[in-house]
Amino acid sequence: MSVTIASEWLNSCSGCEISIVDMGARLLDTLALVDFVHIPVLIDHKYFGQLGDREHIDIPEATVGIISGGIRNEEHLEVAMEMRKKCRIIIALGTCATHGGIPALSNSYTNEEIFDTYYATPTTDPPAGIPTEGIPPLLDSCYALDEKIKVDICLPGCPPHSDQIFTALTGLLKGEPAILPCKSVCDTCPTIRKGKGQLNAVKRFLQAPDYDRVDAPLEEMRCLLEQGFLCMGPVTRAGCGGDNILPRCISARVPCRGCYGPVRHEGNQLLDMLNALASNGIQISTLPETNSFLRFSGAHGRLRPTRQQKEA
């Protein structure tokens, strides 16, 4: 019997699903071995029956349930709970599912503040009210999956590299659990590090980093953090380069912003980065703001509105 898979996307951008498609030829091999019973981006299975006449969301039973995106509204919550009920193993795919991802930046604001801005931009006609008819109400925050349902396997990344998705899926087919490296981006970055104490400020990414020749490999470029650029490599989980190992942003000569989330699942990228900078004698005040250290991991209550915002 083939392995059945159900897949859902919640508060997400579909980048994780594209990363599945980016398995390329391996996707066709995988499709031959598994049976997708529900995946809205590819297959027309419907929540309320194929004639749209049932009352409750129904997803078929499956061995593996893949969920991308965090939980931001009541429908996301209902779908996530239905997936948990129907699937033996739940994979949280991508950093939105594991840590909230970029959309969890909204956790610094109340829903009212978000509506007040979105429905009052200069080109928006003043609405009679905030839309509510037939659309799911927002929850008070953007949640990672494991805040609402039990998750069996976390595959972070924005998006997770196709190599890791393939490894995880084929591992499941063989009954082997996916084991992801618990290392930092720096542990897999080949740039030259000379050590502490030569820097007291970090700068914004407004100029090109230094390296000798245009075709110099990363091994010949000085670490971007040591060049004075903010780089989240020390506090970010490795793996973005897939089987090729090299961190993807650094390969483009651009510093890391933390898209794989914290090195340990329960880590805090903001605290860890403040520590890393302070222990190197770097003044944080040289940066205009530090909330962005949680750019990818603002769920789990890490980002939240202030009391004044809530009372306003």
Six-digit token string for 115:
């509506």
Straight-line distance from the first to the last Cα atom of the chain, in angstroms, rounded to the nearest whole number: 57
Nearer to other proteins, 17 or 272 (CB): 17
Least Å distance between CB 177 and other proteins?
A: 26
Least Å distance between CB 78 and other proteins?
A: 11
Least Å distance between CB 138 and other proteins?
A: 7
Q: Which helix (H) or strand (E) holds 277?
A: helix 269-279
Nearer to other proteins, 279 or 285 (CB): 285
Nearer to other proteins, 134 or 195 (CB): 134
Amino acid identity for residue 308 in this structure: Q
CA 143, 232, 296: angle at the middle one, nearest 5?
15
| 140 three-class SS | strand
What DSSP letter does each residue of 40-51 carry, written as one string?
A: TTT----TTTTT
Q: Which residues contact 52 (CB under 8 A, 6 or more apart)?
A: 46
Six-digit token string for 109:
């604001």
Least Å distance between CB 85 and other proteins?
A: 18
Least Å distance between CB 248 and other proteins?
A: 4
Nearer to other proteins, 21 or 312 (CB): 21
Nearer to other proteins, 205 or 264 (CB): 205
